[in-house]
Amino acid sequence: MASAILPLSSPSRPLRNDLKANWKRGTSNRTFLRKDYTKAKQSFTRTRMTLAVEVSRFNDITMAPPDPILGVSEAFKADTHEMKLNLGVGAYRTEDLQPYVLNVVKKAEKLMLERGENKEYLPIEGLAAFNKATAELLFGANNAVILQQRVATAQGLSGTGSLRLAAALIERYFPGSKVLISSPTWGNHKNIFNDARVPWSEYRYYDPKTVGLDFDGMISDIKAAPDGSFVLLHGCAHNPTGIDPTPGQWEKIADVIQEKKHIPFFDVAYQGFASGSLDADASSVRLFAARGMELLIAQSYSKNLGLYAERIGAINVVCSSSDVAERVKSQLKRLARPMYSNPPVHGARIVANVVGNSDLFDEWKEEMQMMAGRIKNVRKKLYDSLSAKDSSGKDWSFVLKQIGMFSFTGLNKAQSENMTNKWHVYMTKDGRISLAGLSSAKCEYLADAIIDSYHNVS
Ligand SMILES: Cc1ncc(COP(=O)(O)O)c(C=O)c1O
């Protein structure tokens, strides 16, 4: 507020000095007398007092709630308990629960430094070498969509920014079209479409009875949606449930989407991180592309290359011809220009170097397997601890069936709050835990916390 910075008792120093100087010199304005100085001072004081009580123009802005995912990390930092665990944000940690910078990233950065590359603006659509690498990683270099130049690729501000750019494209060129979102989904999806003013509705995905996929519910909701809707699908390692359709179920999902003339819209935030294989994790996207369908795919390198803060990802639009793809790309650029002008270069160069250098590429695959492997180990250890410690006979095998970074525990809001308040286990209130933030040493402690919350809190 103005009152916090403006003095109440006198004119500002420059004005005071001016007034005094004029008075002393008596030259600039002969009629400027002491009474004038006093009058000016009084009027200034009145103005200042008015400003002091004036209500802020931003007063109607209410306090925004903390982000349900990133807010968890803030609360975690403030906790001093030695057993505390941050299972909120989906970020990989080492066995010592420290952040991890991949060796291939360090090597790529060293190469970049040696080359002394400049910091000039990138084109609006991003780094050409990155765009080529990212599309090839997604589809495979020899995929027909690549060979026929049917993919419009634009570098985006990681997964979130790429989804946001696609949402802007939908809002502009498919006004009124709905995006169907899985229930539940990653916490930010709804925000992205809300802010882009794209209507959305949910399709059933999770069955609490089986802690598995509600496949029939999913199919019937996709069938019931207006023809030509966009269907948002998680390419692999569904967040938050960790439950993916089987290859046979993917085929049926593709059948219904084709029948209904819907447009599939994939969010691929975990390629390579789910199974440890880049190709296996892209198989859902490739299945749809192989049917000749037009589709959208947002990619992120936050998790698989650990480039969270570099904000590197892409939006790919597979079109029916190279001509359409060219036009779509031109419009993606048009949308990006007034939003952020052009994307950052550092992460794009890292990806292009890692994917474009066969030694680094192989090393990356090994590191990814190591990360995915560590998560699989703690998943198994958590399951073993839950089964050994819980004498109630409850079947915890769903923990083993889920894949990727997360486990959807089935704990409700009150139970999730008990995990935090009593056990210092920080997690989102939908019952999701990020196994990437768990160490083997803390699996038993976590199992105790889950068993207590599940059986003793309703
Ligand atoms: C399903 C899903 N999509 C997209 C993202 C986007 O992440 P980022 O913007 O860091 O790439 C995430 C991150 O957690 C995610 O889980």
294 pocket-lining for ligand 1 (C-beta < 6 Å): no
**Residue 114 is assigned to a structural domain of this protein:** no
Here the CATH number for the domain that contains residue 380 is: 3.90.1150.10
In this structure, is residue 391 part of a structural domain? yes
- In a domain, residue 117? The reply is no
Confidence of residue 15 (pLDDT cuts 50, 70, 90): very low
Domain end: 292, 323, 356, which one?
Answer: 356
Same-domain check for residues 175 and 239: yes
- Give the best-scoring range by mean pLDDT among 11-25, 75-89, 316-330: 316-330
Domain with 418 in it: 70-101+367-456
Q: What is the mean pLDDT of residues 150-166?
A: 98
Whether 48 and 180 share a structural domain? no
Residue 397 has pLDDT above 60, yes or no: yes
State how far the Cα of 95 lies from the Cα of 97, in Å rounded to an integer: 5
User: Do residues 273 and 313 both lie within one domain?
Assistant: yes
Q: How many helices (H) and strands (E) does the chain have?
A: 19, 13
Residue 67 binned pLDDT confidence (cut-offs 50, 70, 90): confident
**205-243, pLDDT tens digit by residue?**
999 888 899 999 999 999 999 999 999 999 999 999 999
Same domain, 345 and 243: yes
Contact by Cβ (8 Å): 418, 452: yes
CA distance readout (Å), 104 to 100, 201, 364, 404: 12, 40, 6, 21
- Asked if residue 111 belongs to a domain, the reply is no
pLDDT of res. 7: 40
Q: How far is the CA of 90 from the centre of ligand 1 (A)?
A: 9
**Residue 163 CA, closest ligand 1 atom number:** 4
- Using alpha carbons, select from 370, 365, 354 the residue that is nearest to residue 279: 365
| pLDDT score recorded for residue 66 | 82
Q: Rounded to the nearest whole angstrom, what is the distance from the C-alpha of residue 266 to the centroid of ligand 1?
A: 12
Is 186 catalytic? The answer is yes
Residue 140 maps to a domain: yes
- Asked, for residue 304, whether it belongs to a domain, the answer is yes
Given this model, what pLDDT does residue 275 score? 87
Q: pLDDT-based confidence at 131, cuts 50/70/90?
A: very high
Domain membership flag for residue 361: no
The closest residue, in CA terms, to atom 5 on ligand 1 is 159
- Across the range 317-346, mean pLDDT stands at 98
- Cα(33)–Cα(130) distance, rounded to whole angstroms? 71
- Residue 14 belongs to a domain: yes
Gap from CA of 269 to ligand 1 centroid (Å): 5
303 is catalytic: yes
- 34 alpha carbon to ligand 1 midpoint, in Å? 68
Convert 355-390 to b/e letters by CB count within 10 Å (16 or more is b): bebeebbebbbebbbebbebbbebbebbbbbbeeeb
Residues 136/308, Cβ–Cβ less than 8 Å: no
Query: At 47, is the pLDDT very low, low, confident or very high (cuts 50, 70, 90)?
Result: low
The residue type of 142 is N
Residue 64: CB atoms within 10 Å: 6
How far is Cα 444 from Cα 442, in angstroms, rounded to an integer?
6
Catalytic residue among 303, 329, 381, 442: 303
Give the active site residue among 186, 200, 364, 396.
Answer: 186
Determine the average pLDDT of the residues in 451-457. 96
Co-location of 158 and 265 in the same domain = yes
Question: pTM above the 0.75 mark?
Answer: yes
Average pLDDT over residues 320-341: 98
User: Total domain count for the chain?
Assistant: 3
**131 and 216 part of one domain:** yes
